[in-house]
Amino acid sequence: MKTPTREIRAAHDRDSITVYQAYGPEIGGPAAEHGTFLPPFSRHRMTWIKPSFLWLMARSNWARKPGQESILAVRISRAGWEEALGLAVPTDPDRRVFRSSDEWRERFAKAVVHVQWDPERSLRGQKMEARSIQIGLSRHIVDHYVDDWIIGIDDRTPLVRTMHRLVQAGQVGKARALLPPERPYPLSADLAHRLGADSAAGPERSR
């Protein structure tokens, strides 16, 4: 059976799923301390949440990019996560989801949640065949994210720095042992179709 390339892989349990975000310390510090987002976090712009730890490591350059020095693990309810997925519209006219470009344009113009699939990354940052999902929450739904969905926020920046030092030192095995566990997240057939995801979950893959 062909290994799925578009599946949601995440740390999750019966009630929650962990997503990752990177911010400057002025946002990341208070968020981790208080367990929610406080100003200067903006509720009036789109915020992107990603269940792939390594994708965010590549994006933030291991917490070294300006404005992305704090890596947060945000635990949210599965009910909230699936509410977001149920409202999501892909950022491109994927023919697995839409019958035509016109249908996509009409739905995307009204979308309050965006979804896109980007290449997953390895520990060394190489692009992989597997895709990693990103969910963009528009200003119309960010209040629900902050006020209703968030269960807790942990600062993973120290872990990120330790792992990056190990990777730089060539100790990839030790770094891999510190990776947060991620496994396929189950999707209904309807949600899988809406997201353009593969319906079947594949085996664990080495990263």
* Cα–Cα distances in angstroms (integers) from residue 163 to residues 47, 65, 126, 153, 178, in the given order: 26, 16, 16, 20, 7
Can you give the pLDDT at residue 204? 40
**Residue whose structure tokens are 């903006």:** 42
Work out the average pLDDT over 27-43: 98
How deeply is 151 buried, as exposed, middle or buried, from its count of CB atoms within 10 A (0-12, 13-18, 19+)?
Answer: middle
Asked whether residue 69 is assigned to any structural domain, the reply reads: yes
Asked whether residue 16 is assigned to any structural domain, the reply reads: yes
Work out the average pLDDT over 48-58: 98
Question: Does residue 205 have a pLDDT over 80?
Answer: no
Work out the average pLDDT over 7-32: 98
**Single pTM value for the model:** 0.93
Asked whether residue 86 is assigned to any structural domain, the reply reads: yes
Asked whether residue 3 is assigned to any structural domain, the reply reads: no
- Closest of 116, 118, 129, 92 to residue 5, by C-alpha: 129
Can you give the pLDDT at residue 96? 86
Can you give the pLDDT at residue 23? 98
Asked whether residue 205 is assigned to any structural domain, the reply reads: no
Q: How many domains does the chain contain in total?
A: 1
Q: Specify the DSSP class assigned to residue 197.
A: -
DSSP alpha helix (H) spans, 88-154: 101-109, 142-144
Name the packing angle between helices 157-168 and 53-60 (round to 10°). 80
- Closest of 188, 196, 199, 185 to residue 52, by C-alpha: 185
- Measured CA to CA, the distance from residue 186 to residue 7 in angstroms comes to 9
Asked whether residue 40 is assigned to any structural domain, the reply reads: yes
Asked whether residue 207 is assigned to any structural domain, the reply reads: no
> Per the omega criterion (within 30 degrees of 0), is the bond before 40 cis?
yes
Question: Does residue 111 have a pLDDT over 60?
Answer: yes
Q: Specify the DSSP class assigned to residue 12.
A: B
String of b and e for 28-37 (b: at least 16 CB within 10 Å)? Answer: bbbbbeeebb
What percentage of the chain has pLDDT greater than the value 70? Answer: 94
Asked whether residue 176 is assigned to any structural domain, the reply reads: yes
Task: Band the pLDDT of 2: cuts 50, 70, 90.
Answer: low
Work out the average pLDDT over 47-62: 98
Task: Band the pLDDT of 4: cuts 50, 70, 90.
Answer: confident
Domain of 164, in residue numbers: 9-193
- Measured CA to CA, the distance from residue 187 to residue 37 in angstroms comes to 28
